[in-house]
Amino acid sequence: EGAVRQKRPLSLSCGLLFGLFIASTPVMACPSSCHCIEKSGMTVVQCMSRNLEKIPSDLPRDTVVLLLASNHITHIPNHAFSELHYLQEVDLSNNDIETVDVGAFHGVSDSLLFLDLSNNNIQSVPKEAFARLRAKISLSNNPWHCECTLQEVLRELRLDPETVNEVICHTAVQEEYAGKLLIQVLDSGINFCNFHHKTTDVAMFVTMFGWFTMVIAYVIYYVRHNQEDARRHLEYLKSLPSSSQISKDFDTISTVL
């Protein structure tokens, strides 16, 4: 009995140590290129200025704040954050981002509160890329091409009011709006979609006119070619001996025989 009594405290101590070890083990390790800290019950993943060329794929599942500013990221792929169900803030400013996939923010549309895409190389985004996002978004200091799709995207977004005056049309479907603040252009009543429809109608008209011209040209060529064949056939028929001459020659041959 004494031996048994001595073993119980030892097994209990081992259980407590094992429990403490499990409790201190993170759900997912921090990426080697980042620094993870817990602040006020939130996991903050700090990956700023780490020369990253893409978004890390092994981010902790309980990430709430993700700081990826000042790297060399060029692309936000589909489902880049779909496993981060608690994600509230993403800072991707001062990167080299050029493209944003349609499903880039799939899975975080309900949780995300702030998204910073300022100071990148984004010219346009798919209309569905920011669909259902409720986050406040900064799009300032990008070389935006102002056209119908961008206008439709902005209708659904909550632009950061502090940076909205830094969204400039680098280029535009109508050259006179290049270099102007996008918000001023839209407030003036300009509708890039109307211009887009007009351009599409003109292009369709030009295409139809081109096809019509080709059909007419083909018909004219076909008629002229047939006329030429008919003329040659007629000349050939004229060059043949007439039936009366053939009959006379046949009679002459018969008489001789």
Domains of the chain: 25-190 (3.80.10.10)
**pLDDT per position as a tens digit, 63-114:** 999 999 999 999 999 999 999 999 999 999 999 999 999 999 999 999 999 9
Say what the pLDDT of residue 216 is. 73
The stretch 35-41 carries a mean pLDDT of 89
3-state DSSP of 142-204 = CCEEECHHHHHHHHCCEECCCCHHHCEEEEECCHHHCCCEHHHHHHCCCCHHHHHHHHHHHHH
- Whether pLDDT at 24 is above 50: no
Q: Is the pLDDT of residue 140 over 90?
A: yes
Q: Which two tokens stand for residue 98?
A: 């050029």
At position 88, the amino acid (one-letter code) is Q
Q: For residue 192, what pLDDT is reported?
A: 84
Alpha-carbon span 106 to 131, nearest angstrom: 9
CA 110 to chain centre: 22
Q: Is the pLDDT confidence value at 219 over 80?
A: no
Give the helix ranges, DSSP H, for the chain.
2-24, 148-155, 182-187, 192-239, 243-256
Would the pLDDT of 179 be above 90? yes
Mean pLDDT to the nearest integer, 154-181? 91
Here the tokens at position 148 are 């119908």
Q: At what angle do helices 192-239 and 148-155 cross, to 10 degrees?
A: 150
pLDDT band at 226 (very low <50, low <70, confident <90, very high): confident
pLDDT band per the 50, 70, 90 thresholds, residue 52: very high
Q: Tell me, what's the pLDDT at 93?
A: 98
Answer with the residue of higher pLDDT: 70 or 240. 70
Identify the CA nearest to 51 among candidates 26, 31, 33.
Answer: 33
pLDDT of 66-75, one tens digit each? 999 999 999 9
Confidence (pTM): 0.66
Q: With 60 as the cut, is the pLDDT of residue 20 above it? A: no
Residue-level pLDDT at 178:
93
- Beta 75-76 vs 99-100: how paired, if at all? parallel
Q: What is the predicted pLDDT for the residue at 163?
A: 92
From 245, 173, 248, 159, select the one nearest 203 (Cα to Cα): 173
